Amino acid sequence: MPFDMDFDGIEIGGMSVPPGKHNLRIIGATEKTSKKGDPMVVVDYEVMDGPHCGRQIKFHYVVFFKDKNAPGAGMSKSYLKTIGLPCDGSVTVDPSKWIGRWVV
């Protein structure tokens, strides 16, 4: 059900890295299952350089929708391509091979 919120005077908190462009290395990739039963991977990153080097960004969810027509179904394919892994045709998704790869 929709609801109203007033964020005036509230600062964004709990962010380990401020918004912006950062070079990130994958430091964790944990297989899970979504609430709808689709396979997904929870990805954790570490900033590779700059003033925030070493800080972590946690809990990025990559969902692999079984229904090819589901909204967002192509996002997991795009993610695999971004980290340099096979993403065409039938592939085996092995999150252990994600560790050490990087994204911006």
Please write the tens of the pLDDT for every residue from 3-47: 778 778 776 665 678 888 999 999 999 999 999 999 999 999 999
User: pLDDT above 70 covers what percent of the chain?
Assistant: 93
Indicate the SS3 state at residue 26: strand
Q: Which two tokens stand for residue 29?
A: 């990739």
- Rounded to 5 degrees, what angle do the CA atoms 75, 76, 82 make? 90
pLDDT at 7: 78
Please state, in angstroms and rounded to a whole number, the distance separating the CA atoms of residues 49 and 73. Answer: 32
Report DSSP letters for 36-87, one per residue: TS-EEEEEEEEE-SGGGTT-EEEEEEEE--SSTTSTTHHHHHHHHHHTT---
